Amino acid sequence: METGVLANMQEFNHEQVIFCQAKDVDLKAIIAIHDTTLGPSLGGTRMWPYASEMEALRDVLRLSRGMTYKAAAAGLPLGGGKAVIIGDPKKDKSQALFRAYGRFINSLDGRYITAEDVGTNVFDMECALLETDFVVGTDPCHGGSGDPSPFTALGTFYGIKACLEKVYSDSSFKGRTFAVQGVGSVGAALVRHLVKNGARVVACDIDADRINALKQEVSFESVTPDDIYKVKCDVFSPCALGGIINDRTVELLKCKIVAGGANNQLERIEHADMLKKRGICYAPDYVINAGGLMNVFLELEGYSRERCERMVQNIYHNVARVLKIADEMGVTTARAADVMVEQHLDKIRQSNRMFTMHQKHVLRNVHRKR
Residues 283 and 195 in one domain: yes
Residues 130 and 219 in one domain: no
Q: What is the pLDDT of residue 139?
A: 84
Q: What are the backbone dihedrals phi and psi of residue 170, each rounded to the nearest 5 degrees, phi first?
A: -160, 120
Residues 39 and 100 in one domain: yes
Measured in whole angstroms, how far is the alpha carbon of residue 13 from the centre of its chain?
Answer: 18
Angle of CA points 13, 344, 336, to nearest 5°: 85
Residues 272 and 153 in one domain: yes
Residue 78's identity, in one-letter code, is L
Q: Known catalytic residues?
A: 82
Antiparallel, parallel or unpaired: β 112-113 and 41-42: parallel
CB-CB contact of 294 with 284 (8 Å): no
Contacts of 140 (CB under 8 A, 6+ apart): 146
Antiparallel, parallel or unpaired: β 16-22 and 45-48: unpaired
- Of 92, 86, 189, the residue nearest 147 (C-alpha): 189
Residues 44 and 128 in one domain: yes
Whether residue 240 lies inside any domain: the answer is: yes
Residues 39 and 156 in one domain: no
Q: Which of the four pLDDT bands, split at 50, 70 and 90, describes residue 141?
A: confident
The domain tally of the chain equals 2
Say if residue 369's pLDDT is above 70.
Answer: no
Whether residue 14 lies inside any domain: the answer is: yes
DSSP state, residue 338? H
Angle of CA points 78, 93, 119, to nearest 5°: 45
| CA–CA gap between residue 87 and residue 22 (Å, rounded) | 13
Q: Above pLDDT 70, what percent of the chain?
A: 94
Residue 306's identity, in one-letter code, is E
Q: End of a domain among 118, 138, 158?
A: 138
Which residues span the domain enclosing 66?
A: 5-138
pLDDT in tens, 34-88: 999 999 999 999 999 999 999 999 999 999 999 999 999 999 999 999 999 999 9
Whether residue 242 lies inside any domain: the answer is: yes
Give this prediction's pTM.
0.85
Residues 164 and 94 in one domain: no
Contacts of 175 (CB under 8 A, 6+ apart): 198, 199, 200
Residues 50 and 173 in one domain: no
Residues 132 and 192 in one domain: no
Residues 105 and 252 in one domain: no
Say if residue 165's pLDDT is above 60.
Answer: yes
- Of 166, 153, 140, 123, the residue nearest 327 (C-alpha): 166
At 131, which CATH number? 3.40.50.10860
